Structure 1
Amino acid sequence: MKAAVSRRYGKPAVVQIEEIATPSPGPGQLLVRVRASTLNRTDCGYRSGKPFLIRFFGGLRRPKALVWGTEFAGDVVALGDGATRFAIGDRVCGYCEGTFGAHAEYLVVAENRLIVPIPAGRSYAEAAPSVEGSHYALGMLRKSGIGPGKDVLVYGATGAIGSAAVQIAKDLGARVTAVGPTAHLDMVKGLGPDRVVDYQTEDFTRDQQRYDLVLDAVGKSSFWRTRRLLKKKGIYTATDHKWAHLPFLGIPVILGWIVMALLFKLSPGRKMIFVVPHKDPEGVRYLKEFITSGRFRPVLDRTYPLDQIIAAYRFVETGQKVGNVVIAVG
């Protein structure tokens, strides 16, 4: 099968298109003929091995996965022993961070991963970006206690996670303010927020409204800059933190994270939280229903064929993508 292979960490050029053996499904696994995948900041981090902390998950000296890629849409073509949740021929989309492999023509994935049927009428390119962004967004919203009547501000509403956060927060019954750039305000409005703020013409941190949650989906703001937006017990959370690669009072980064999390946890007022998404059963049930019902519409920026994946990496690393970049596999 054709695959985008990385045998070392580095710049986009370390990725090569090669012919490798097609995997076979083991017990409880599916073999999926991948039709579309995505390429996002997660893939860029794993490919580059930066920040170094990511190598504890992807391999210290060299990548432990030959093929990256965390999202997929395609057809089930074979079942391993005991795999019963899906049938051969089913159109599915899913998320496979940790095992990876979606940047290839075939993917083996455990059937108990976050995999859902593709909604009727949805193309593979539209389905591939359905799971990762929504998974991260839901984790942040649930950890922050967002539900009916809550007020949420999403900074970076044009990205994969931000656009998902706007849609999910509305679906959960929250009042949502979405922040985006002038050029993409119409797209942001199409996500269904209650208010839209153009950060290029007004300083969103001076907004007079107060929020239960400020969700920074691009990691370009901070708790200290946005804390005046928070209600008395409001929460700030982000997908990335500008200080994450620096020592904290001489303590390694990971210990700095732990210390900061504990300090804010003990605070009775406004706080910053760090969210590590996990596959909790209630969240999985919600996401499956949210996606398969067709209520969630991922935002698509552009599509690259698998043969042009290096160009896709370079584009994503410019930080200019709006929504999701899709890789057309076959």
Structure 2
Amino acid sequence: MKAIVYKKYGTPEVLKLNEVIKPMPHKNEILLKIAATAVNSGDIRLRKADPFSIRLIFGLIKPKVNILGSVFSGVIESVGEDVIKFKVGDLVFGHTDMGFGAYAEYKCLPEKSSIALKPANISHKESAVIPFGGVTALYFIRKAMIRPGQKVIVIGASGAVGIAAVQLAKEFGANVTGVCSTKNIALVKSIGADNVIDYTMDDFTMNGETYDVIFDTVKAISLSRSLKVLNKDGIVILSAAGISEMLQGIWISLTSTKKVITGIISHKAEDIIFLKELIESDKLKPVIDKTYPLEKMSEAHVYVEKGHKKGNVAIEIQ
């Protein structure tokens, strides 16, 4: 089978289209023929080993995991003898968690992975871009216990996590303000934001407004600036936090009435099913900026790494 393989950390050029051995499912696994995947910020960080701490988990000198890609949509080609939830021919989508491997034509996954039947009303490439931003936003929104009537501001509202965060916070009943650049104002309004702030024209920390929850999806501003416009007992969510932000967050949470939420997300099949139901009820919409074929993966990485994509970048696998 064809797969995008990388054997050393570095620039997008380390990603090579190779022939690799097609996997075979174990008793409790499904074999998925992948129709589409996506390029996300997590793939970029892992390819570059940035921050350096990534090397402590995924390989100090060279990567232990040689095929990236954490999201997928496709069709089940075969199943192990102990699989009961899925059958051959099922159209599914989901998240590989830390297993990666979706930059390939085939992938084996345990039946109990974060997998669900594909939403009936969208395509494979649209389904593939949902789990990364959707799972991330859902995890932090639930952890913050966002509830009806709260004022929530989403920084980076036009990115993969931001687009999901705006829509999910609205679903949970919040009044949502999105922060983005001028060219993305219409997009953020279209996904349901009650208010939109153009960061090139207005500094939301200086306009007199305060918020119950500040969701920074892109590590765009300092914690000290966020805290100035956070209500008493408010919460800052840092989904892209580094170690220094995590340590600052722990200190703030311990020494004040305000709370900072960071950390590694966790998820399960029920979360993918929840997102599927929202999509099918037209409450969560995928946003795709560009689509590339598998063999153009390095080009897709170059584009995503520039940091200006609207929503998601999809990869179609022929």
TM bucket (normalised to shorter chain) is over 0.9
Q: What amino acid does structure 2 have at the position aligned with 1:187?
A: L
Distance 1:282 1:3 in 2: 29
* Correspondence for 2:290: 302
* Correspondence for 2:152: 152
**1:257 Cα deviation from its structure 2 partner:** 6.0
State TM-score, norm by structure 1: 0.91
Contact 2:114 2:271 in 1 (8 A): no
* Correspondence for 1:250: none
Alignment equivalent of 2:264, drawn from 276, 300, 324? 276
Contact 2:148 2:174 in 1 (8 A): yes
State TM-score, norm by structure 2: 0.94
Contact 2:44 2:301 in 1 (8 A): yes
Between the two proteins, what is the percent identity of the paired residues?
37
Contact 1:3 1:17 in 2 (8 A): yes
Contact 1:9 1:47 in 2 (8 A): yes
**1:217 Cα deviation from its structure 2 partner:** 1.0
Distance 1:283 1:268 in 2: 32
* Correspondence for 2:77: 77
Distance 1:271 1:128, change over 3 A: same
Aligned-residue Cα RMSD (Å) equals: 1.8
Distance 1:125 1:149, change over 3 A: same
What's the secondary structure of 1:226's corresponding residue? Answer: helix
Distance 2:281 2:100 in 1: 26
Q: What amino acid does structure 2 have at the position aligned with 1:123?
A: S
Contact 2:250 2:260 in 1 (8 A): no
> Is the counterpart of residue 202 in structure 1 residue 202 in structure 2?
yes
Contact 1:237 1:275 in 2 (8 A): no
Distance 2:240 2:68 in 1: 21
* Correspondence for 1:326: 314
Distance 1:282 1:121 in 2: 19
Contact 1:176 1:193 in 2 (8 A): yes
Contact 1:78 1:88 in 2 (8 A): yes
* Correspondence for 1:168: 168
Q: What amino acid does structure 2 have at the position aligned with 1:111?
A: E
Q: What amino acid does structure 2 have at the position aligned with 1:298?
A: P
**1:236 Cα deviation from its structure 2 partner:** 1.4
* Correspondence for 1:9: 9
Alignment equivalent of 1:311, drawn from 291, 299, 313? 299
> Is the counterpart of residue 103 in structure 1 residue 91 in structure 2?
no
Task: Work out the number of aligned pairs and report it.
Answer: 318
- Return 5+ residue gaps in structure 1 as ranges: 245-252
Alignment equivalent of 1:260, drawn from 233, 248, 252? 248
- Return 5+ residue gaps in structure 2 as ranges: none
Distance 1:279 1:121, change over 3 A: closer
The correspondence of residues 102-251 of structure 1 with structure 2, limited to 5 A, is 102-241=102-241, 244=242
Q: What amino acid does structure 2 have at the position aligned with 1:133?
A: G
**1:270 Cα deviation from its structure 2 partner:** 2.5
**1:239 Cα deviation from its structure 2 partner:** 2.5
Q: What amino acid does structure 2 have at the position aligned with 1:109?
A: L
Contact 1:40 1:325 in 2 (8 A): yes
Distance 1:69 1:281 in 2: 18
Contact 1:130 1:291 in 2 (8 A): no
Q: What amino acid does structure 1 have at the position aligned with 2:317?
A: V
